[in-house]
Structures are given as structure tokens and as C-alpha cells.
Structure 1
Amino acid sequence: MLHVRCSTRVCYVVQYFIMASPYFVQSRSVITRSGNQSSGGTPAASLRSKLTNRRRNADPVSPAAVKVEEEEARISEQRSSSAPLSTGGCPEILPTGRPHPKTESGTPTLLSHGRRRRQLKVEYDKDEGVMPVKAEHWDPPEWKKQLGYIREMRSSRDAPVDNMGAEKCYDTEAPAHVRRFQVLVSLMLSSQTRDQVTAAAMQKLRAHGCTVENVLATDDETLGKLIHPVGFWRNKVKYLKLTSAMLLKEFGGDIPDSVEGLVRLPGVGPKMAHLAMDIAWDQVSGIGVDTHVHRISNRLGWLKKPTKNPEETRKALEEWLPRELWSEINWLLVGFGQQVCLPVNPLCSVCLNQHSCPSAHKNSPTKRPKAGSPRSPSPTSSFKTKTEPDQESAVKYERTEKELRPTPVSPTTQRRRLKSKVNH
């Protein structure tokens, strides 16, 4: 009780000291920021403005009085802004001499000047006159000239892809859904396989009956013999069975008409899906990128940065290559890669792009192939070259050529052979 009384007396002393200040003896009318005159309690924030107004009055004021009033205003402002709210003891005394107002629950409320200012959201007016900056379109230098040269080198259309590609392996007399299924099967078999081997396997399958129902009814051993020796033929037997079962169950024996549906099939990747959409459904959904397109695009510098796999190459090409060229670019580059731009030792000496290709003559033979060799141009076309896609096949052809060459025979040996023929 003693402590409470002391606190109460201190509060009354403070109140009396504030009320006895010369500042509060003056009129309590205050001019607010809006210009309206109001009477009653003076917010602590308006004390400095009143002092400033008093300095501007015509009556001179002593510097000591002004200093005292500024100090009192500073103390009053600090007291009103930093004094903690109390739920017990003496009530907080405002500069006006009135106790702090309370809510119905008894908790003192904050004054308007003590409230935290609401943060305003700053919005800037959009400048309608400024157009948005568009990303700079990138395309390879001289790509149009290089593409024109590739078209010229591919004008004869005598590469394996031209005669034994997926668009040549289906039965033109079969129903539409069967033709589409055969296109998909040829694409599945062509992975890691030369076109000549794929075409032979498709010919045997078509003779057996290349339909969804016949593939499901054929046992794995027989199906493996039909597609052998395509690359990874054992895995492809499983994929053909699983894909045929899914097509019969979900699509009524036909193939899906979307890339999303095609890539769901076992053994079908993005390249096969885009090619199937182009060949089977006559819809261009993307660029079919295989090892040839992937290799040649990197060699010609048709990509912003080198890519590691065909899928990255497809996305990079589709960013800048016009859509009307997406269907053509696959067979152009595949045939070009089968004949000229070989995986190992490309024939840069017969390529029309050897002066603009950044990879020209880096891995190519130092000498032009001799006339009559499998890798030499034919007399009718300067761009008809060897059609094997890898160096192993090239070595095989060279060995065969050496074996077929006549070996030099001495005159003595020739006489012996003639005598033996006459005796017989």
C-alpha cells in the first residue's frame, strides 16, 4: 500500500509540474496539419510546430524562454511515445493532464500519434509509350548458305535413308492404322541400326504379318528371328510386345496421335515420336534428331553452345530454325551424314561447306580418295560417296576390295597353269 501511495503521489507531482508549465498556461487551441482549429488535448507531436509558430510572432521572445519550452516539449514527446502501458498502479498522465483513455476491457488504447503507421504500397504508373524489350533472336552465321549447299549435295536422293527409311518400310496397300503401326515399328527397329538392316527386318515382318494382333500372337523366339540382326534385338522384341499390347488395349490397335502418347510406349523416345507424327500423322510436332543430326549440327556450329545428346540438340535447333524446315531437316542431315559428313574421317574435301564449316578438315583425310574407291565421288555426281555410317564398315569395304584385286603372277606360274589346263 505504501508503494502504491508513493507511486500515486509521484504521478500527481509530475502532473502538477506539467500543468504548471508556462506553455500549458497559454491557450490550448491548436492548428492541425489540415488547417482546422481544435481545442482540447494537444498531441505531443504538435508542440514543436507551435513553438515554431511562436518564434515567427512579432513579439520578441527571450532565448532562455524558448530554450526552456523546447526542452519541455522534447521531454513531453519522449514521455508520450516511450512510456509503457500499465495495467495497474497509477494511470499514465497525458500532457493535457487527462489520464490515458481505456477500452471497455480496461486496457489503455494508443493515441493516433502513437500508432504504427500503416505501410503504404508504392505503385508506379506503367509507361505505355515504352515497348517491352524483346530477347535478341540468335541464328548461326551463314546457316542459309550452308543449308543450300546441303540441299545441293543431297539433290540426287541416293542415300540409304532415301530408299530404306521409315517412310519406305510400310505396306502402302494396308489399312491406315496398319500403315501407321508399321511406321512406328520401323522407327523402333532403326535405333542403333543401319537403314539397310532395318529395311530387311521390316520386309520379313511384313511377310509374316506386321499388325498388332500378329505381333502379340508371335512367340518371342520367332519374333527375334524375324528382326535379327537389328541392334539390341532382344530388347526390341520385348518392346514390340509391350507396345502392341498397350496399343490394342488403350488405342484400339492404332498408334497415338500426340507426342505425349507416343513417348509413353515402351521403347519409343522423342526422336521416334516426332518422326512418327510427321510420317504417320502428317503433323510437324518437332525435329527428329538422331546421331547424324546431332553430330552435324554441332560440327556446323548451328547451336549456341555444344550439346551432349540429341534431345538437347533438338531443343536448341527448335529455338531458331524456322518451323517450316523442321520436317525437311531430318532427312537432309541424315543422308548428308551417311554420305559425306561421316562420324569418323568425314569427307570434307568433297563438301561444299568446307570453307564455312568450323570443323572442316579437322578429322578428315589429308588426301582426296582415289578414283574407284568406295569413298570416292562417282563420275556422274561429285557428291555421291560411300553410304556406310561408320569407319568399321569403311575398313570392311577396303579389305574386300583388296581381296578381289588380282595378285601379280610370275611368267613361270602362268606357264604351269596353262599346261595344267591343256592336260585336263
Structure 2
Amino acid sequence: MRSHITAPVDTMGCDQAQFKETDPRSQRFATLISLMLSSQTKDEVTDAAVSKLRAALGGSLSVDGLIAADDATISDAIGKVGFWRRKTEYIKKAAQRLRDEFDSDVPKTVDELCSLPGVGPKMAFLALQVAWNLNVGIGVDVHVHRITNRLGWHKPPTKNPEETRLNLQSWLPTELHPHINHMLVGFGQVICTPVGPRCDLCELSTKGLCPSVQKTAKSKTRKAVTLASEASTSVSGSLPKVEIEIKAEEENTVLYTIPDNSLHSEVKNEEAW
């Protein structure tokens, strides 16, 4: 199913920021900056902000370049991302910490990454996977949390991303940990959307494998979705084949949401997502 979808994350995700840098440290730093700007922000907006920030810094995203830039320059470049004022402060302070404590490079542990302002577990796990090719945990965002609960992978349903991460890591093969985020994020961006999911296009629902299937209402304003053939999509060549047994259950349809009182204030805002 995912192999037929080209989603925003495939061409504008955090792993793409490194390819416009030549210096390895700048590649890792660009990955971290992309992740820090991505919270509460669509990939299209994040990608544009990263490109604009790179241009504002003279054509490269480097620790020294960001530190040297004034706040107004940074804010102007990232002004369309969510919480841009806070993120201007976060990325500037993070760059200073990287220079002073980590030899101007991205740290290689979750604890060190999470000690940076504006960086939470999801960002840390993904940064290590992309920047250092280190597989130490699953990056769980709203898409992964929502979709795995809709599919009934958690018994009982998980209440927050951290519970989702721990449960997934308890049974999902370790070699699939680096891929599950990318796979489900793209699926959630195009098919299993938060509102009005395209169950009519989902093989899991048409085969009776999704306990949360919804009837899809016809709408003239609904965005068209084009499913590419497996041979023509670039995603199929980059992701491993993931086979997970899902047993259909005869039960009422339940869509899980996150209660406000179950999330720490930092999680509600952005950092831990």
C-alpha cells in the first residue's frame, strides 16, 4: 500500500535537508534544524523554511553561520513555521550549545540531544537515524500514534506518543524501527488522515483488516489522491517490505484521540512530538 504513495515526507522530510550540504557536520546540522522546525508544521512549509534559512546564511546551514546571524534574519527565514518565535530562540541556543559542548557537531546520544532546547525524544531518535545511522529507538509523531491506535496495535490503546513508542519497540523487529516512522507518516499524510481518512483507497479497510474503518463521503472539495504503480514510485525502492499480521475483529468502530489531560504541556506544544 505505502509503495504506491508518494507523500510530502518522501521529498521534503527531515532526511532531505542533508543533501544540499557538502560538509558532513553541516549535513547533520541541517537534519537537526529541519527536525526542530518541523514540529506543528507541514513538511512543505518546513522544507521551504530550511531552504530560505540556508540562503539567508550564505548558502549553507552551519553552526557558526547560524550563531553569527541575527535573530531578525532567522525569524524572517522561518516565519511561516509553527511557533517560529520560539523556534528562533531554540535553534540559536542549540547552535551555541553545539559549538560550546559538542565540537560544533550533532550529539550521538538521545540524552544529549534532548538536552538541547526544543528537542524531544521523537526528534532525537530521528536525528540519530538520519544523521548518524544509529538505530536506538522509534520516532513516534502524531501520525504514528494515530494510525497504530486506529489499527488496534495497542491493547489497551496508548494515551501518548511515549506509550506508543514503548509498545511498538516491545514487539516490532529492531531492523524495522528506522523505517516505521517514514512509512506511517507518509500513509497518514495521504490516506489515513486525521479528519476524513481515505478508507475507500486503503487496502487494509477494503480487506477488513482495519477496526476503525469509516465510510468515505463523496465531496467535490476533497483533494484527489493518485496512487502510483509500484514500478513508478521512488518510495518502493527505499523502504523495506514490512509484513505485520493484523487480525480482523468483529467490534464497533473506534477512533482513538488523545485526551488533553493525558499530555504534558511540553508535549501539547511541540517538543516531544
Q: TM-score range by the shorter chain?
A: 0.7 to 0.9
Assess, with a 3 A threshold, how the Cα gap between structure 1 residues 379 and 250 changes in structure 2: closer, same or farther.
Answer: closer
Please give the alpha-carbon distance, in whole angstroms, between the structure 2 residues aligned to 1:279 and 1:179: 10
- How many residue pairs get matched? 225
Instruction: Give the structure 2 partner of residue 358 of structure 1.
Output: 211
Instruction: Give the structure 1 partner of residue 15 of structure 2.
Output: 167
Q: Say which SS state the counterpart of residue 328 (structure 1) adopts.
A: helix
Instruction: Give the structure 2 partner of residue 417 of structure 1.
Output: none
TM-score (norm 1): 0.51
Equivalent residue letter for 1:309: N
Instruction: Give the structure 2 partner of residue 221 of structure 1.
Output: 72
Please give the alpha-carbon distance, in whole angstroms, between the structure 1 residues aligned to 2:217 and 2:222: 17
Instruction: Give the structure 1 partner of residue 138 of structure 2.
Output: 287
Instruction: Give the structure 2 partner of residue 273 of structure 1.
Output: 124
Deviation at 1:228, TM superposition (A): 1.2
Please give the alpha-carbon distance, in whole angstroms, between the structure 1 residues aligned to 2:227 and 2:108: 45
Instruction: Give the structure 1 partner of residue 194 of structure 2.
Output: 343
CA contact 1:170–1:183 (8 Å) conserved in 2: yes
Deviation at 1:375, TM superposition (A): 3.0
Q: Say which SS state the counterpart of residue 137 (structure 2) adopts.
A: coil
CA contact 1:171–1:206 (8 Å) conserved in 2: no
Query: Which of 178, 183, 207 is residue 31 of structure 2 equivalent to?
Result: 183
Equivalent residue letter for 2:46: T
Query: Which of 306, 311, 322 is residue 173 of structure 2 equivalent to?
Result: 322
Q: Root-mean-square deviation (CA), in Å?
A: 1.8
Listed as ranges, the matches of 1:144-155 within 5 Å are 153-155=1-3
CA contact 1:191–1:231 (8 Å) conserved in 2: yes
CA contact 2:5–2:227 (8 Å) conserved in 1: no
Assess, with a 3 A threshold, how the Cα gap between structure 1 residues 252 and 374 changes in structure 2: closer, same or farther.
Answer: same
Listed as ranges, the matches of 1:213-252 within 5 Å are 213-252=64-103
Instruction: Give the structure 1 partner of residue 260 of structure 2.
Output: none
CA deviations 1:285-305 (Å, max 9, x no partner) are 100100000000100011121
Equivalent residue letter for 2:191: V
1:198 aligns with 2:49: no
1:312 aligns with 2:163: yes
Query: Which of 63, 69, 76 is residue 212 of structure 1 equivalent to?
Result: 63
Please give the alpha-carbon distance, in whole angstroms, between the structure 1 residues aligned to 2:41 and 2:22: 25
Assess, with a 3 A threshold, how the Cα gap between structure 1 residues 379 and 274 changes in structure 2: closer, same or farther.
Answer: closer
Which ranges of structure 2 fall in alignment gaps of 5 or more residues? 231-273
Equivalent residue letter for 1:359: S
Please give the alpha-carbon distance, in whole angstroms, between the structure 1 residues aligned to 2:72 and 2:225: 43
Deviation at 1:269, TM superposition (A): 0.3
CA contact 2:12–2:44 (8 Å) conserved in 1: yes
Instruction: Give the structure 1 partner of residue 242 of structure 2.
Output: none
Deviation at 1:365, TM superposition (A): 2.5
CA contact 2:71–2:88 (8 Å) conserved in 1: yes
Which ranges of structure 1 fall in alignment gaps of 5 or more residues? 1-152, 383-424
CA deviations 1:363-402 (Å, max 9, x no partner) are x4344x66xx6533438559xxxxxxxxxxxxxxxxxxxx
Deviation at 1:214, TM superposition (A): 1.4
Assess, with a 3 A threshold, how the Cα gap between structure 1 residues 181 and 377 changes in structure 2: closer, same or farther.
Answer: closer
Give me the identity figure in percent.
51
Deviation at 1:329, TM superposition (A): 0.5
CA deviations 1:66-90 (Å, max 9, x no partner) are xxxxxxxxxxxxxxxxxxxxxxxxx
Please give the alpha-carbon distance, in whole angstroms, between the structure 2 residues aligned to 1:249 and 1:380: 47
Q: Say which SS state the counterpart of residue 353 (structure 1) adopts.
A: helix
Instruction: Give the structure 1 partner of residue 252 of structure 2.
Output: none
Deviation at 1:206, TM superposition (A): 1.4
Please give the alpha-carbon distance, in whole angstroms, between the structure 1 residues aligned to 2:167 and 2:223: 32
Assess, with a 3 A threshold, how the Cα gap between structure 1 residues 218 and 305 changes in structure 2: closer, same or farther.
Answer: same
Deviation at 1:171, TM superposition (A): 4.0
Deviation at 1:260, TM superposition (A): 1.2
Deviation at 1:156, TM superposition (A): 3.6
Assess, with a 3 A threshold, how the Cα gap between structure 1 residues 360 and 234 changes in structure 2: closer, same or farther.
Answer: same
Please give the alpha-carbon distance, in whole angstroms, between the structure 1 residues aligned to 2:166 and 2:78: 32
CA deviations 1:296-335 (Å, max 9, x no partner) are 0100011121112111111111111111111111111000
